[in-house]
A and B are shown apart, each in its own frame.
Chain A
Amino acid sequence: MRLDIRAYLPNRVSGQIVVLLIVSLVASHAILTFSFLYYHRHDEPPLHFPEQLATLMELISANPTDQRETLIASINRAFPRFELAQLPTPPATVSGAASSDYEVAGFAHRMGPNYRVMRLPSGPSTPAAAGDRIVIGLHDGEFVSARLVPLPFSWFGPSAITLIVILISMPLLGVWAALRLTGPLRRFASAAENFDPNGEIAPIPEHGPQEIRVAARALNQMRERIKGLIDDRTRMLAAVSHDLRTSITRLRLQCEFIDNESARAKMLGELAHMESMVESVLHFLRNSQTGRQTVALDIATSLQAICDQFADTGREVGYHGPDHAVIRAHPEDLHRALTNLIDNAVRHGAKADIKLTLTQPTVTIAIEDDGPGIPDALKQAMLEPFVRGDAARGMDDKTGFGLGLSIAHAVIEAHGGSLTLLNRVPHGLVAQVVLPQAEPKTLH
């Protein structure tokens, strides 16, 4: 059976942090204490040092003479603090135990009666610091030299490296664990930032500590609800637009069979008004859902075409500006926005002037009328949906839902531009549209 350590961890982030703290504190204390006890004891004689040396000697004695050299080399690799060395010839002063040397005598006593131990005298053939070395006579007459006291602590010794590794790895482990704990929170943040109701996004994985799982589930449920609402709205839009258009179509057809010319004209007028209201609401609601590509558009010819259409219906609309100017845009959306603004101008003024100026890196379109204008206090509100100008603007009730300006505003902002309403001297309104000439970054 596989042991899953996660099954024993606390469920909550707080609990996990507490466990992390306790485990790391206990572990670092234990490791430091252990290393202190085992590597930092300099008092004489070192703990178990002679006994360990005796064990090694027993091991060496048990091996044949010709294999001892390799054996000693491998012992040195494993236990460098003994600094064992084979002596080819017995040292000159090997003559029984030197009873005056208490240090060596104590050492020899602890090693046991099987070994003759003496201090290695200084000499040209012996390693440096010979005063700290001892010679051990094995029972078969061979001699091995070793350190009397273990090598002092070294920053490059195995124990120091172990300690350094622990000191580095413990904080790294802590940082890693902390990142693991907070990782789900960062995933939440990025999931919320990238939320696009029109696109397909994989749900946030529901695993990790209890709080994270609960939050992930709640976020996923919210995401589902938002998607559901948007899908509902899309279906509702489709149904409403289909049914309303079907009804208006019936009425339009029925109008053709009305003999009374003036009644027919009135009804057709009402129907046209109804149709434009329906279209403006649907367009406004649909506007946020479109994610189409922009194309290079000649804004100058677009403005000319709109002006010409208004001029053909008997309005006084003039275009002033260059013959050509290229921007990137959604042609249908922008056409609607500009038509709304110009329609607004000709409805409230006797004449309208449309001026296009190229101001790198933007183009500025000024739609000027000589009507009554809008009081400053109302200007911002006029750009909000479903707000109509009041009596000051002299609107009749044929102006629909008041969506014209807000649609224009939304479309122009989606193109990375701005719409500002300004006063004209001596009277009138200027709708100033600034659009970037370069490609807008994001369009929805």
Chain B
Amino acid sequence: MPHILSVEDDAEISRLVGRYLRAADFRVSMLPDGRKIERALEDGRVDLILLDLMLPGEDGLSLCRRLRTHSSVPIIMVTAKSDEFDRIVGLEMGADDYLSKPFNPRELLARIRAVLRRASAATPIADRARYLAFSGWRIDCLVRELKDPNGTRIVLTGAEFGLLQVLCERAGRVLSREQLLDLTQGRSIDSLGRSIDVLISRLRRKIERDPHDPGIIKTVRSGGYLFAAKVEAS
């Protein structure tokens, strides 16, 4: 049973999150501020920290940066501020994901599961590349941004971005629709139940020179899809 440590100063939210996550088969410990966080980490195995940004005493950003100096435990930042700036700073401080209040509890659950799945994968989270580049295009996985070869921002929906990232990270491999659905689930709540084919055609329209004769995302007959461009990670 994965152990989640929730650092949250609002007692009511803390209680409700605990109750909700326990119902979803997690073990949950709670702290009202960041003072005892180190001891909690030493006391027992912690699989993930839910860290509120605005805490009494040391704030979430500085806690996150401090934790990152000696621990690679996955961190999801939760904050009642939703400025773009906060999100980027939070992720750059070493958080694995970012959720702004008010959040949908089901999305919180999905994010927790996705981060835990990534953490248990062979590659440690810290080693994952932030930037992926292909055919002049550039993906910033941290702030979820795509730029074309001229440096122009291309807006993708969350589901499209998740699918592109999954394809990119597994370039050169044929992925079936079932595999893609499985890999993208949990990354973004709105990809659930969406046809992979629709997402692929929308992606092609945005990144392919000729969407009817795709050169980057190729269809493999009776197999699925293949990311054909060469990907460089940095």
Contact = CB atoms under 8 A, between A and B. Distances in A.
Interface of A: 238, 241-242, 245-246, 248-254, 256-257, 271, 275, 279, 295-298, 301-302, 304-305, 308-309, 312, 323, 326, 331-332, 335
Interface string B217-230: 00000000000000
B102 A296 contact: no
Contacts of A275: 102
Contact of A296 (B153, B155, B194): B153
A296 B148 CA distance: 10
Contact of B13 (A246, A304, A305): A246
B54 A297 contact: no
B101 A298 contact: no
Contacts of A295: 152-153
B105 A298 contact: no
B150 A296 contact: yes
Contacts of A242: 54, 80-81
B40 to A, nearest CB: 22
B155 A302 contact: yes
B13 A253 contact: yes
A249 B15 CA distance: 12
Nearest to B199: A308
B202 A308 contact: yes
Question: Which residue of B10, B150, B206 has the most chain A CB atoms within 10 A of its CB atom?
Answer: B206
A1 B205 CA distance: 85
23 contacts: A242-B80, A245-B82, A245-B100, A245-B101, A246-B101, A249-B102, A250-B13, A251-B102, A253-B13, A253-B105, A256-B105, A295-B152, A296-B153, A297-B152, A298-B153, A298-B155, A298-B206, A304-B202, A305-B156, A305-B157, A309-B157, A312-B190, A323-B211
B154 interface: yes
B160 A249 contact: no
Contacts of A252: 102-105
Question: Which residue of B80, B82, B155 has the most chain A CB atoms within 10 A of its CB atom?
Answer: B155
Contacts of B100: 245
B43 interface: no
B134 interface: no
Majority secondary structure, A binding face: helix
Interface of B: 10, 12-13, 16-17, 19-20, 54, 80-82, 84, 100-105, 148, 150-157, 160, 190, 194, 202, 205-206, 211
A241 B54 CA distance: 13
A43 B58 CA distance: 98
Contacts of B16: 250, 253-254, 256-257
A249 B20 CA distance: 13
A305 B101 contact: no
Given A241-B81, A298-B154, 9 more contacts: A251-B102, A253-B105, A256-B16, A257-B19, A296-B150, A301-B155, A305-B155, A308-B157, A331-B153
Nearest to A257: B19
Contacts of A256: 16, 20, 105
A1 B19 CA distance: 83
Contact of A249 (B54, B81, B101): B101
A304 B205 CA distance: 9
B10 A331 contact: no
A311 to B, nearest CB: 9
Question: Which residue of B17, B101, B104, B105 has the most chain A CB atoms within 10 A of its CB atom?
Answer: B101
A331 B152 CA distance: 11
Nearest to B12: A250
B155 A245 contact: no
Contacts of A241: 80-81
Contacts of B105: 252-253, 256
Question: Which residue of A252, A309, A312, A335 has the most chain B CB atoms within 10 A of its CB atom?
Answer: A252
B50 to A, nearest CB: 12
A93 B194 CA distance: 133
B97 to A, nearest CB: 17
B3 to A, nearest CB: 20
A84 to B, nearest CB: 87
Nearest to A335: B155
B76 to A, nearest CB: 14
A297 B145 CA distance: 11
B155 A297 contact: yes
Contacts of B80: 241-242, 245-246, 249
A119 to B, nearest CB: 99
A402 B52 CA distance: 32
Nearest to B210: A323
A13 to B, nearest CB: 48
Contacts of A331: 153, 155
A271 B194 CA distance: 25
B205 A323 contact: yes
A304 B203 CA distance: 10
A41 to B, nearest CB: 84
B152 A298 contact: yes
Nearest to A275: B102
Contacts of B153: 295-298, 331
B109 to A, nearest CB: 10
Contacts of B194: 312
Contacts of B54: 242
Nearest to A274: B102
Question: Which residue of B16, B80, B102 has the most chain A CB atoms within 10 A of its CB atom?
Answer: B102
A253 B17 contact: yes
B91 to A, nearest CB: 16
A248 B190 contact: no
Nearest to A282: B82
Contact of A332 (B84, B103, B160): B84
Nearest to A252: B102
A299 to B, nearest CB: 9
Question: Which residue of A238, A242, A249, A250 has the most chain B CB atoms within 10 A of its CB atom?
Answer: A249
B156 A246 contact: no
Contacts of A308: 157, 202
Contacts of B17: 253
A332 B103 CA distance: 19
A185 B22 CA distance: 69
B177 to A, nearest CB: 18
Contacts of A238: 81
